[in-house]
Chains A and B, each alone.
Chain A
Amino acid sequence: MAKLKKKPLTLNFKKFKDKISKIKPNFETLKNKISKPKPNFKKYIKNISNLKINALRILKQVIKEFRLLWTDKFNLLLAIVIPPLIIVMLGFTMTDAPSETQSIPCMLISYDSNTFINQNNFTESKLDNYTMPYVEAVNKSSMLELVRFYNATEEIYAMEAARNALISGEIKVILSLPVDFTELLEWGLPGLIDCVLDASNIQYIQQSLNSVYDSIKIFVNDNNLTPQFQLQGFEEFTIPEGYSNNFNSSIVMALSFMVFGIALVLSILVIVQEKPIARLLLTPVKRSEILLSKYITYTLVLVLQVALLVISGLSMGLYIAGTLPDLFFALFMIGFSGLTMGFFISSQSKTKTQANQLFLAVFLVAVLLSGIFIPIENMPSYLQVIAYILPLSHGDPLLRGIIQKGQIILGLHFIWLLVISIVLVIISFVIFKRRKYEV
């Protein structure tokens, strides 16, 4: 077998020495590098004047955008006048102020005159001293309209008749005094009233319960009873007296939809319908400047829109548990996310039709998955992912938190909205930069 010869490892020091000697530091160049560069004032002045020209150019573009906006009065009307107008309309139509027309029609059935057998000592009683005082209290309440009173002892089909009236829509509430109504009050125990509500219209549930509560309040006061009637679940986040319940509960949903939707509508056609952009690009103006000026213009419109919305909301009796600046910035953030989504759609759409179709798809999905109609937790997991990406899913809870619970703006929902908006701004700039324009 042939043996493998190992080569001895030798180091060529001479070669290394030569190499090292070659790397002599060039002190002259180093000196030049270290010495401070002479300030080039001409260059600075030129840079500053360039910056000034760029800023002026953007300002002029912003003015152009405003002029274009002004020519499209309908769009402007949509953005500025319609939202506060809707708030005012809601304010007028959704008040809780007691009035003849707003009282809830009801029927009262009393079983109080029936024989009551005490389960403890098997004694019988037929006390009904508090029946008529309660009937009077119902009559006194401006929030209830007593359509008919039944004494179930005499009219055994009273409940059936009342149920028919409820089904037909003649009344909204059936009040029923149980057999031990007077007895319990006489013994100093909490009184009991059965209440059957028409739940077909969600809006009436709260109003009906409030009306019943009102009659109880009158009954307790008039008869010097201790207030033993309580409606549970209304202690937390209640709207203080003097504020409209209906208006305040509806406004939260309306605000987020309106600000988001209108910002989206305003911006979806901004890029796709402006044909002279192609020609503008044959001037020294940069693409980024064009898009930036659009963002500035529409952001200013959004600020105005949000300010008007808040003012109209407050003037119509909007109750804010949180602070006004928080509400303002939350609304602005929801609107801005709509704006960025609109710019994103507009920058990547080739035609107006395409932009409109995309708008419809995006808006519908955003609304349906916002969690307002179906709780996000009840959705399939893949839909939950989509829902949490969409701005409205964060806008609605953010607003509810500030308006109803007095939360501060900074939180997960606000951060999400901010992140979504920033991402969309970046994407829209990238798409707009790559968008093909030909003249």
Chain B
Amino acid sequence: MVEVNNLNVKFGEKHVVNDVSFTVNKGEIIGLFGISGAGKTTIVRVLTCQIEKKHWTGNVMVTGLSPEKKSNHSKILSNIGYVPQLELLNLYFELNPMVNVEVFTSTYGMNKNKAKETAEKLFKILDIPRDTWKKRVEKMSGGEKKRLSMAIGLIHNPDVLFLDEPTTGVDASKRYDILSYLKKLNQKFNTTMFIITHDLEAALICDKVAILKDGRLLEFDTSQNLISSLPSEGLIARFTIEDLNEKLIAFIEKFPFIRRIIRVGNEAIEVLMENFEENLQKLIEYMVDNNIVITSMSKDIATFRRYFQIRIQKEEEKESSLKEVKVIRK
């Protein structure tokens, strides 16, 4: 459905996307994760024909068509849907939802009755109350606007739907609702979805996740596979320690089987180590013998959030050590 091979995007001297490759199959949900400036939006802009060819190189195919050719743009744009981060960019607030649907479906040459039928179906799936269908969008709640925006993105039954930060600006309780609606839509219409997000919880509904940093694709796999790639398949020991400080952490880090320690708040750490089950007891003994007061302890499997944190941290360490080597060589 979407193929990206050796994609490089440059704006002047600035290398925004660096040799990115991945393939997405029909019906998959892909999460594009990364801190700001990682290149997530730029990749999507290439896929949605928003960036001129002179700025990028590589082989890109969207629904079997290359955005390289201008003549393909109209067809690609017919095959894709887009849900921007801000509803303001996607909806005419002065018009009602049904008229908004009409405005957008007319651009795809859709029949009015068919558009209405599809809209009603989508509105029902997304729980957009019937009494708001004929009211101005500006009178709808934030969540309703968000869902309406998603409905507009899907109104022409696109093969691929791009969603930019779908959970941003939504309160915590509604975030899961939005994600579950997306999953529901994906299952119902088998639409391939690209979710650009900072919200790491979105990985829950993603078939594959892409982690980007400074324009480079660090990982592209299922979140389970990524977590399993951690030492001891992502098993984590969580300790709450009295008077926790950097010195104590550095001391614990000296325990030979430890792979990584992550500080969680003021009093807790999470520990990843080799041969988790065998070495956990030894680690506890090591800490007790050295007068470290453990107030509580639990073990769990790492979440995607933790994996992301570790992966980015690892990358930063790698970059700083590379810089150090360069400085020494100089």
> Which residues of A approach B to under 8 Å, CB–CB?
53, 56-57, 60-61, 64, 67-68, 71-72, 275-276, 278-280, 282-285, 438-439
24 CB < 8 A contacts A-B: A56-B109, A57-B106, A60-B103, A61-B103, A64-B99, A64-B102, A68-B94, A68-B95, A71-B136, A276-B90, A276-B91, A276-B92, A278-B84, A279-B82, A280-B104, A282-B48, A282-B80, A283-B77, A283-B104, A284-B109, A438-B50, A439-B82, A439-B84, A439-B89
Q: How many residues of B contact A (CB 8 A)?
A: 26
B66: interface (CB < 8 Å): no
CB proximity of A297 to chain B, nearest CB, Å: 13
B270: interface (CB < 8 Å): no
In order of increasing CB-CB distance, the 6 nearest A-B pairs are: A60-B106, A71-B94, A283-B107, A285-B107, A439-B84, A53-B109
Q: Is the CB of A57 within 8 A of B109?
A: yes
Q: A68-B94, A284-B74, A284-B78 are in contact. Are A278 and B89 (CB under 8 A)?
A: yes
CB proximity of B162 to chain A, nearest CB, Å: 9
User: 1/0 per residue B94-114: CB within 8 Å of A?
Assistant: 110001001110111100000
Residue of A whose beta carbon sits closest to that of B80: A282
Residue of B whose beta carbon sits closest to that of A283: B107
User: 1/0 per residue B194-221: CB within 8 Å of A?
Assistant: 0000000000000000000000000000
Within 8 A of A (CB), among B137-175: 164
Residue of B whose beta carbon sits closest to that of A59: B106
Residue of A whose beta carbon sits closest to that of B74: A284
Interface residues of A: mostly helix, strand, loop or mixed? Answer: helix
B248: interface (CB < 8 Å): no
Q: Which residues of B contact A60 (CB under 8 A)?
A: 102-103, 106-107
B88: interface (CB < 8 Å): yes
> Which residues of B approach A to under 8 Å, CB–CB?
45, 48, 50, 74, 77-78, 80, 82, 84, 88-92, 94-95, 99, 102-104, 106-109, 136, 164
Bound form: Cα–Cα A48–B247 in Å: 77
Q: Is the CB of B103 within 8 A of A64?
A: yes
Residue of B whose beta carbon sits closest to that of A289: B107
Bound form: Cα–Cα A438–B85 in Å: 11
Q: Is the CB of B74 within 8 A of A279?
A: no
**Which single member of A67, A282, A438 contacts B95 (CB below 8 Å)?**
A67
8 new A-B contacts at CB < 8 Å, known A282-B50, A284-B74: A57-B107, A60-B106, A64-B102, A64-B103, A276-B89, A279-B89, A280-B104, A283-B107
Q: Is the CB of B103 within 8 A of A284?
A: no
CB proximity of B71 to chain A, nearest CB, Å: 12
Bound form: Cα–Cα A21–B118 in Å: 69
Bound form: Cα–Cα A283–B155 in Å: 12
Q: Which residues of B contact A279 (CB under 8 A)?
A: 82, 84, 89-90
Q: Which residues of B contact A56 (CB under 8 A)?
A: 106, 109
Bound form: Cα–Cα A285–B74 in Å: 8
Q: Which residues of A contact B91 (CB under 8 A)?
A: 276
Q: Which residues of B contact A284 (CB under 8 A)?
A: 74, 77-78, 107-109
CB proximity of A294 to chain B, nearest CB, Å: 14
CB proximity of A47 to chain B, nearest CB, Å: 14
Q: Which residues of A contact B95 (CB under 8 A)?
A: 64, 67-68, 71
CB proximity of B283 to chain A, nearest CB, Å: 50
Q: Which residues of B contact A64 (CB under 8 A)?
A: 92, 95, 99, 102-103, 106
CB proximity of A408 to chain B, nearest CB, Å: 42
CB proximity of A69 to chain B, nearest CB, Å: 10
Q: Which residues of A contact B74 (CB under 8 A)?
A: 284
Residue of B whose beta carbon sits closest to that of A278: B89
Residue of B whose beta carbon sits closest to that of A68: B94
Bound form: Cα–Cα A255–B88 in Å: 38
CB proximity of A59 to chain B, nearest CB, Å: 8
Residue of A whose beta carbon sits closest to that of B85: A439
Bound form: Cα–Cα A177–B316 in Å: 105
Bound form: Cα–Cα A423–B80 in Å: 36
Bound form: Cα–Cα A276–B99 in Å: 14
CB proximity of A296 to chain B, nearest CB, Å: 15
Bound form: Cα–Cα A276–B77 in Å: 16
Q: Which residues of A contact B109 (CB under 8 A)?
A: 53, 56-57, 284
Q: Is the CB of A282 within 8 A of B77?
A: yes
Bound form: Cα–Cα A272–B19 in Å: 37
Q: Which residues of B contact A68 (CB under 8 A)?
A: 92, 94-95
Q: Is the CB of A275 within 8 A of B88?
A: yes
